[in-house]
Structure 1
Amino acid sequence: MSVQVVDLKVEYATNPLGLTTLEPRFFWKSKSSKSNKLQSAYQIQVASDRQLLLDQMVDIWDTAKVNSDESLQITYQGKQLEAEKHYYWRVRIWDEEGIVSEWSEIAYWSMGILERSQWKAKWIGRKPEAHVTKETTSLEIPPAYMRKEFVATKQVKRAMVYASALGLYELSFNGNVISPLFAPGWTDYHKRVQIQAYDVTNVIKQGAQVFSVILGNGWYAGTVGFLGDRVYGARPLFSMQAKIEYTDGTVEEIRTDETWKVTKGPLLYSDMIMGETYDATLELIGYQEAGYDDKEWEVPDTRPGYNALLTGTIEPPIIVAEQLKPISIQKTKDNTYIYDMGQNMVGWVKVAVQGAKGTKITVSHAEMLNPDGSLYLENLRKAVQQDHYILKGIGTEYYEPKFTFHGFRYVELIGYPGEADLDTIIGQVIHSDIPKTGNITTSNAMINQLFSNIDWGQRGNFLSVPTDCPQRDERMGWTGDAQIFARTATYNRDVAKFFDKFYIDMLDCQQPSGAFTDVAPDAGWIRHKMWNTRLNWHAPDNPGWGDAGVIIPWTMYLMYGDKQVLESNYDASVRWIQYLHDMSDNLIRPDYANYEDWLSIGSTTPKELIATAYFAYSTQLVAKIAEIIGKPDDAAYYNQLFVDITKAYQQKFVDEQGKIYGHTQTGYVLSLSFGLLTPEQQKQAVQYLVEDITERGNKLSTGFMGVAYVLPVLSDYAQDDLAYKLLVQEQFPSWLYSVNHGATTIWERWDGWTEHNGFQTPSMNSFNHYAYGSVGEWMYRYMAGMETDEQQSAFKHIHIKPRLDRTLAFVEASYESLYGLIRSNWKITGDQYELTVEIPANTTATVHLPIDGKLGEYELHNLGSGTATFIGKLV
């Protein structure tokens, strides 16, 4: 056949379990060795059993032939889906000639618990000890160990487990860990708790079975940001129910209740920010096996229910994605060992050790070293990146922490018995499961390192929520950082499910006024144990942070064709715009925002200018969203509001010479990027922007809010040469300054460390902070030239418009879109360039290139297994 249907997904995932949406969305890709292959129609079949599909006995949904070229975001419209059922599906397509493909391989998904009444399990935990009071810290509440035995007496057809926690849990079945790291993930626990589903059919056996659980405080009852501990609740709870279907048609259910057993164990404490202590001499040998004597264990404390929405897991699981070996080891005068992992990473190290019973070793983590070679710990603030292990004294012991993580490049091993070497530890790199989709390689090794730093910064901070940093006592989902980096993030990695969940976090914490909060989940707006009032994140509506509630859904539409996120988020976006309107004075926003152009250097952009610019931008996006989701009257209203804000902006902030109030790089790039100037003012603004950059020696002064727009604006206004000069600038402040000084992730500050001043203030100095990595967007969209079309989003129609420049001899870029692989590779030899393009089946592209001194446009359909090459003279 000329076309194959591959890579079937439901709700962005391959064979997902436990969905709670009744209208899941379908995705597939077309693959062909022939060129110009386009889908003209599709047919989806869904059945309650795999064999029914093979036998053409489709009982759930058969679309028949649908004339459409869509292969993304196809919404299920069959029979009503039932809780805890598996469904099997396949698809075939017709090409542009009407030739039908073979059926795809069969994929599946399962439904989870759909109604609260179906959740019959109780929430169980360990009863508080006598010494526990309101003043007790979470570090004095050790993780609970739980177990439950039962007997499976018949042959099993299917066994499903559904579990969640207020806190973190590790769930094992018959000694096998079946849960991902840090389940169930971080949500606003007062509004929503995620339930994970596990298929244990291949693990269960006839006879005695054991569920065993370790329950940690996590975000729920442990330390959250700089707010302290026990922010959401006083102690963690666990809930689980299993459904076992036997081949004879009978069903057995196992639920958490009073019959479970609970105790404390070797994990003395484990905190997301304060580290962990594990005493191996207290290990509960055999507790995960049937027949273990637990008669001395306690009866759990039980709660019949929990007043929050129980929903299927939305986010991707957190995984150990990679292992890193240290590149060097140094023994100190204090007989400790300092390792260099060679990469600033997030996770922990696994340690191998032999020694006497009761020996205590400490593993300490840091991102940088002091000039004397010791660990630089001052920037951690109150965080304690240390794990402690007490040996049981039997052979070689292996230790790695359970419910904590660290941001580090350097590891100090303290109290280690014997001689440590490079094989003593191994780094475990963790992050949410966000597979790599984009890659860029250039002729400049430093640019390649910058690209690596951008990706590692994303990996380290995309952990359930997009955190600001992974090391100090913060690690919160700052929305401003997320929105400015979102476009880069979506090129680098598959973050569809990740952002699908994060925008729900933003909706959960939107205030009654319509304002979006600075962080999501917004732990600062719940009742904290130390105050009988609500805490406030400073201003309720910081520009660029609150606007994430509009910008991130828009980015998901552009990159993934997700109209559902636009529709479900629309009312919240409208409320945000109405709030900004109501809180403005003649459409000019006030100047009380807290963050300005956060961490700009050498310039200060007026707060009211940034706030009004973002007000206009979000309004413009809501107008576009209204048009896309079929609300033309709303679109007309918000388009006019945008025009009105623009006029007010010009009157307030632009003088007769076109100079913008504050005269900063950020002021100019926001005004130009958001379309806030007249054509004449645009020319003047570009001139002022170029002058400011060149007068600074081709250096930046932007902070978080301006940095992503500088290079795109320069390229949009025929200043590619200056954009490249900024990109390859090595002197401070610049992207490559940190690269020149050994950075392997993006720093929070341009001056996190400098030759002339050393370390910046330790109170705010992360060396793994992704916001300045938003330059990656320009590298993909402009340098490589891979851009989607707003009207045919998700790269259904692709624009290839590379910015060719002799600064680089070659650029090789790729992006795995939801339709398939896109490549844009160019090289320059003398006065000649060569561009090689690859696009996937069922897409088209417009290639924009200079030919004979003029910009030409060339239309492509997919190239099958081949590529298209364009050769021309560089102008």
Structure 2
Amino acid sequence: MKKIKTLLAGLLLLSAGVAAANPAVVKLAVEFQTQPLAIDTPQPRFSWEVKSEERGARQGAYQVVVARSEEDLNRPGKALWDSGRVKSSQSSGVVYAGPALQSRTRYFWKVRAWGEDGKPWEQSEPASFQTGLMSQQELRGQWVWESDQVKPMDYAYFRTEFELAYSPAQACALVSAHNSYVLFVNGQRVSGYVSPGISNPYKSKLYITYDLAPFLRKGRNAVAAMAFYKGAGGQNYVNGTPGFLFEAWGKSKDGKEFSLASGPGWKVLAQTPFDESAPWLSNRKHTAAEFFDGRKEPVGWKQSGFDDTSWKPAVVVNPGYILRSQYMPESNVEKELTPEKVSRPWPGVYLFSLPEEISGWGKITASAPAGTKLTMRYADRLVLGRAFQGAANEPTKTYFDKYTFAGKGVENFEPNFGFRGFRFIEVTGFKGRLTADNLKGVFAHTLLPQTAGFESSNELLNRIYQISVHTQKTGMLGQVVDCANREQSQWHADAEIQSGTIFYNFYDPHIIRKTLLDFRDGQWDDGRLPDFYPASPRDFNYIPEWDLHYMPMLWRTYYYYNDRYILEDCFEVVARQIAYYESLRDASGL
């Protein structure tokens, strides 16, 4: 009995200790991002969560402090902005109200909170955010290309080298291109895929900011990039001037600063290994078929010490684009799938079958004599055992990529600038033997953090949910698309319908926010909205019932994320919409 009493007393003490644990402020975010690198909102919004094991704990007041250094957060009078103690339960959408934020600057912040009973809670750990361009006039980098001529299906390689007297403690790079780029530093890939997201560059040309510190070193460094311009119209692009943009900045532990910017001092290779006569996949997709000649790839061009004396100086172009930071996550690889079956339906034909349909591309690893031309053809279904099935109402006769082997041992090839939607890959042109080890299906999409799940005792329901989430992933390709295999366009109604399930299953308001801002940029003068956007003017189309999906998508974004800014940014869009429909009212009131 004595032992039981002792045990009960211990449990009570333990329980009391747990109950007495102070609630804490956690998961600090700025503009719905954790430790962001490129905030360009003049008055960004702060949010946080409260972690408590105390039932019914409720915030009664908060205090937000912003400073230029972590040390200044705790120094009296050193804060850049101190909200003071604000009596409120608000923990999201708290607007910064301090002095104007400077471009390319790192700021630190923390939150104190009190319960409804007035007792102080455990304050947050310090967090940081960095600004991007707060003004277009502060851009240091210049838009460059291989010439000032505009032609569709154009590729260019860029590179530069520079010296650092130290290993940087902090370093960032702002990067953009019209239309897409792949960035390397000292031979390592830095960027994701199909970057930046598609937009109207004259209204909102997106740029992405990267943490370069892990890639830079003391001594000689090399920055290299591949860039692609689509042009020639289509549902996914606004034509313009091809260009690549880069600027970097950073400093050492003792405050020594460096900067680097694209300009005429950079070198460009105009005749790249890409065949610019490759056919379009279709005008609805992000890119053309990629024909890549491995024999023409300059060996070592992404590394320092490469001899680029035969390359030409980059040409500065002035496209007049308006830059905006890309807040949504970059598209990237989630996983690589091994084919579950490899067959040879006809001589010279390999058919690789993946476990599931994906958005992404094929990746081949093999060796072959120089000049061997391998073709990867994509399909979501088969006809008579061949991968020629059309994607919905579009044929797949141009739904393929080609690689020409350099003949230098084991070679790897995967497309660089677009997504394909497929389950089957048909390989032709290869004379040797291929197995499942030689080809992978690369599953890639905009990587939003998944925040919801479903699991039950019913395996059918579990599978339905898994397929639903997988399908949503394949429909997020730098924008919300209706499908990966046919139309990769951002259709108005399709995006609104998907927004509800996206908000349930993933955390990120920015991909739908981008949709709303894209259609704002594309609104016609009379108030109508196109049924898909971005697009060049000659490709505009209008379906009345598609137009009406804008308002519910806008309200849903506000409702789920308490995003008052999106209402303010898009209010005039809705006002013009309503005015247009009111203008159609006849004498009967219809």
Instruction: Tell me, yes or no, if structure 1 residue 400 matches structure 2 residue 414.
Output: yes
Tell me how far apart the structure 1 counterparts of residues 396 and 426 of structure 2 sit (CA, whole Å). 19
Q: What is the DSSP-based 3-state SS (H/G/I as helix, E as strand, rest coil) of the residue aligned with 2:201?
A: coil
Report the alpha carbon displacement of residue 137 of structure 1 after superposing the two structures with TM: 5.0
| Residue of structure 1 in register with 2:234 after alignment | 224
Which one of the candidate residues 233, 244, 247 is aligned to 1:241? 247
Query: Is the contact between residue 40 and residue 94 of structure 1 (CA under 8 Å) also seen in structure 2?
Result: yes
Q: Which amino acid is the alignment partner of residue 518 of structure 2?
A: D
Tell me how far apart the structure 2 counterparts of residues 328 and 210 of structure 1 sit (CA, whole Å). 42
Query: Is the contact between residue 223 and residue 273 of structure 1 (CA under 8 Å) also seen in structure 2?
Result: no
Query: Is the contact between residue 144 and residue 316 of structure 2 (CA under 8 Å) also seen in structure 1?
Result: yes
Query: Percent of aligned pairs with the same residue?
Result: 27
Instruction: Tell me, yes or no, if structure 1 residue 425 matches structure 2 residue 426.
Output: no
Q: What is the DSSP-based 3-state SS (H/G/I as helix, E as strand, rest coil) of the residue aligned with 1:453?
A: helix
Tell me how far apart the structure 1 counterparts of residues 156 and 229 of structure 2 sit (CA, whole Å). 9
Report the alpha carbon displacement of residue 273 of structure 1 after superposing the two structures with TM: 4.0
TM value normalised by structure 1: 0.61
Which one of the candidate residues 522, 525, 534 is aligned to 1:512? 525
| Residue of structure 1 in register with 2:266 after alignment | 260
Tell me how far apart the structure 2 counterparts of residues 430 and 557 of structure 1 sit (CA, whole Å). 28
Tell me how far apart the structure 1 counterparts of residues 479 and 179 of structure 2 sit (CA, whole Å). 15
| Residue of structure 1 in register with 2:132 after alignment | 112
Q: What is the DSSP-based 3-state SS (H/G/I as helix, E as strand, rest coil) of the residue aligned with 2:361?
A: strand
Q: Give the alignment's Cα RMSD to 1 decimal.
A: 2.4
Report the alpha carbon displacement of residue 21 of structure 1 after superposing the two structures with TM: 0.6
Change (3 A) 1:186 1:383: farther
The number of residue pairs the alignment matches comes to 561
Change (3 A) 1:223 1:449: farther
| Residue of structure 1 in register with 2:313 after alignment | 299
Q: What is the DSSP-based 3-state SS (H/G/I as helix, E as strand, rest coil) of the residue aligned with 1:102?
A: coil
TM value normalised by structure 2: 0.89
Which one of the candidate residues 252, 275, 284 is aligned to 2:289? 275
Query: Is the contact between residue 439 and residue 492 of structure 1 (CA under 8 Å) also seen in structure 2?
Result: yes
Tell me how far apart the structure 2 counterparts of residues 585 and 349 of structure 1 sit (CA, whole Å). 56
Report the alpha carbon displacement of residue 119 of structure 1 after superposing the two structures with TM: 1.2
1:695-706 counterparts in 2 under 5 A? none
Query: Is the contact between residue 390 and residue 396 of structure 2 (CA under 8 Å) also seen in structure 1?
Result: no
Which one of the candidate residues 211, 231, 244 is aligned to 2:223? 211
Report the alpha carbon displacement of residue 478 of structure 1 after superposing the two structures with TM: 0.5
Report the alpha carbon displacement of residue 470 of structure 1 after superposing the two structures with TM: 1.6
Tell me how far apart the structure 2 counterparts of residues 42 and 169 of structure 1 sit (CA, whole Å). 43
Query: Is the contact between residue 173 and residue 209 of structure 1 (CA under 8 Å) also seen in structure 2?
Result: yes
Tell me how far apart the structure 2 counterparts of residues 543 and 493 of structure 1 sit (CA, whole Å). 30
| Residue of structure 2 in register with 1:834 after alignment | none
Q: What is the DSSP-based 3-state SS (H/G/I as helix, E as strand, rest coil) of the residue aligned with 1:544?
A: helix
Change (3 A) 1:98 1:371: farther
Q: Which amino acid is the alignment partner of residue 369 of structure 1?
A: L
Instruction: Tell me, yes or no, if structure 1 residue 179 matches structure 2 residue 199.
Output: no
Which one of the candidate residues 342, 349, 353 is aligned to 1:340? 353
Q: Which amino acid is the alignment partner of residue 48 of structure 2?
A: W
Query: Is the contact between residue 46 and residue 58 of structure 1 (CA under 8 Å) also seen in structure 2?
Result: no
Task: Summarize deviations over 1:316-340 as a string: whole Å, max 9, x none.
Answer: 2111122222222222122322122
Tell me how far apart the structure 2 counterparts of residues 322 and 7 of structure 1 sit (CA, whole Å). 27
Query: Is the contact between residue 328 and residue 508 of structure 2 (CA under 8 Å) also seen in structure 1?
Result: no
Query: Is the contact between residue 161 and residue 197 of structure 1 (CA under 8 Å) also seen in structure 2?
Result: yes
Tell me how far apart the structure 2 counterparts of residues 99 and 408 of structure 1 sit (CA, whole Å). 57
Query: Is the contact between residue 157 and residue 226 of structure 2 (CA under 8 Å) also seen in structure 1?
Result: yes
Query: Is the contact between residue 553 and residue 566 of structure 1 (CA under 8 Å) also seen in structure 2?
Result: yes
Change (3 A) 1:222 1:16: farther
Which one of the candidate residues 475, 487, 498 is aligned to 2:511? 498
Tell me how far apart the structure 1 counterparts of residues 588 and 177 of structure 2 sit (CA, whole Å). 45
Q: What is the DSSP-based 3-state SS (H/G/I as helix, E as strand, rest coil) of the residue aligned with 2:545?
A: coil
Report the alpha carbon displacement of residue 562 of structure 1 after superposing the two structures with TM: 1.7
Which segments of 5 or more consecutive residues in structure 1 lack a partner in the other structure? 526-533, 590-875
Which segments of 5 or more consecutive residues in structure 2 lack a partner in the other structure? 1-20, 281-285
Change (3 A) 1:463 1:147: same
Tell me how far apart the structure 1 counterparts of residues 232 and 356 of structure 2 sit (CA, whole Å). 28
Query: Is the contact between residue 163 and residue 219 of structure 2 (CA under 8 Å) also seen in structure 1?
Result: yes
Instruction: Tell me, yes or no, if structure 1 residue 437 matches structure 2 residue 444.
Output: no
Q: What is the DSSP-based 3-state SS (H/G/I as helix, E as strand, rest coil) of the residue aligned with 1:483?
A: helix
Report the alpha carbon displacement of residue 422 of structure 1 after superposing the two structures with TM: 2.1
Change (3 A) 1:173 1:439: same
Instruction: Tell me, yes or no, if structure 1 residue 39 matches structure 2 residue 43.
Output: no
My pick for the range that moved more, 482-491 or 368-377, is 368-377
Query: Is the contact between residue 314 and residue 500 of structure 1 (CA under 8 Å) also seen in structure 2?
Result: no
Instruction: Tell me, yes or no, if structure 1 residue 189 matches structure 2 residue 201.
Output: yes
| Residue of structure 2 in register with 1:123 after alignment | 143
| Residue of structure 2 in register with 1:391 after alignment | 405
Tell me how far apart the structure 2 counterparts of residues 10 and 383 of structure 1 sit (CA, whole Å). 46
Tell me how far apart the structure 2 counterparts of residues 535 and 363 of structure 1 sit (CA, whole Å). 30
Which one of the candidate residues 375, 381, 390 is aligned to 1:377? 390
Report the alpha carbon displacement of residue 84 of structure 1 after superposing the two structures with TM: 0.9
Q: What is the DSSP-based 3-state SS (H/G/I as helix, E as strand, rest coil) of the residue aligned with 2:466?
A: helix
| Residue of structure 1 in register with 2:30 after alignment | 10
Tell me how far apart the structure 2 counterparts of residues 490 and 13 of structure 1 sit (CA, whole Å). 16
Tell me how far apart the structure 1 counterparts of residues 384 and 345 of structure 2 sit (CA, whole Å). 14
| Residue of structure 2 in register with 1:366 after alignment | 379
Query: Is the contact between residue 243 and residue 252 of structure 1 (CA under 8 Å) also seen in structure 2?
Result: yes
Determine which structure has the larger helix proportion and give its number.
1
Change (3 A) 1:360 1:222: farther
Instruction: Tell me, yes or no, if structure 1 residue 165 matches structure 2 residue 177.
Output: yes
Report the alpha carbon displacement of residue 45 of structure 1 after superposing the two structures with TM: 1.6
| Residue of structure 2 in register with 1:455 after alignment | 469
| Residue of structure 1 in register with 2:569 after alignment | 568
Report the alpha carbon displacement of residue 568 of structure 1 after superposing the two structures with TM: 2.2
| Residue of structure 2 in register with 1:74 after alignment | 94
Change (3 A) 1:416 1:93: farther
Tell me how far apart the structure 2 counterparts of residues 384 and 96 of structure 1 sit (CA, whole Å). 64
Report the alpha carbon displacement of residue 58 of structure 1 after superposing the two structures with TM: 4.3
Report the alpha carbon displacement of residue 30 of structure 1 after superposing the two structures with TM: 1.5
Instruction: Tell me, yes or no, if structure 1 residue 52 matches structure 2 residue 53.
Output: no
| Residue of structure 2 in register with 1:20 after alignment | 40
Task: Summarize deviations over 1:684-739 as a string: whole Å, max 9, x none.
Answer: xxxxxxxxxxxxxxxxxxxxxxxxxxxxxxxxxxxxxxxxxxxxxxxxxxxxxxxx
Report the alpha carbon displacement of residue 296 of structure 1 after superposing the two structures with TM: 0.6
Q: What is the DSSP-based 3-state SS (H/G/I as helix, E as strand, rest coil) of the residue aligned with 1:494?
A: coil
Tell me how far apart the structure 1 counterparts of residues 440 and 412 of structure 2 sit (CA, whole Å). 11
Report the alpha carbon displacement of residue 222 of structure 1 after superposing the two structures with TM: 6.3
| Residue of structure 2 in register with 1:581 after alignment | 582
My pick for the range that moved more, 52-61 or 119-128, is 52-61
Report the alpha carbon displacement of residue 545 of structure 1 after superposing the two structures with TM: 1.5
| Residue of structure 1 in register with 2:324 after alignment | 311
| Residue of structure 1 in register with 2:4 after alignment | none
Query: Is the contact between residue 353 and residue 417 of structure 1 (CA under 8 Å) also seen in structure 2?
Result: no
> Whose radius of gyration is greater, 1 or 2?
1
Q: What is the DSSP-based 3-state SS (H/G/I as helix, E as strand, rest coil) of the residue aligned with 2:495?
A: helix
Instruction: Tell me, yes or no, if structure 1 residue 65 matches structure 2 residue 85.
Output: yes
Query: Is the contact between residue 348 and residue 431 of structure 2 (CA under 8 Å) also seen in structure 1?
Result: no
Q: What is the DSSP-based 3-state SS (H/G/I as helix, E as strand, rest coil) of the residue aligned with 2:546?
A: coil
Change (3 A) 1:383 1:518: farther
Q: Which amino acid is the alignment partner of residue 224 of structure 1?
A: G
Tell me how far apart the structure 2 counterparts of residues 315 and 471 of structure 1 sit (CA, whole Å). 23
Q: Which amino acid is the alignment partner of residue 267 of structure 1?
A: F
Instruction: Tell me, yes or no, if structure 1 residue 151 matches structure 2 residue 163.
Output: yes
Tell me how far apart the structure 1 counterparts of residues 220 and 287 of structure 2 sit (CA, whole Å). 38
Report the alpha carbon displacement of residue 250 of structure 1 after superposing the two structures with TM: 5.4
1:783-794 counterparts in 2 under 5 A? none
Change (3 A) 1:285 1:248: same
Which one of the candidate residues 106, 111, 125 is aligned to 1:86? 106
Query: Is the contact between residue 172 and residue 248 of structure 2 (CA under 8 Å) also seen in structure 1?
Result: yes
Which one of the candidate residues 301, 305, 321 is aligned to 1:287? 301
Change (3 A) 1:193 1:137: closer
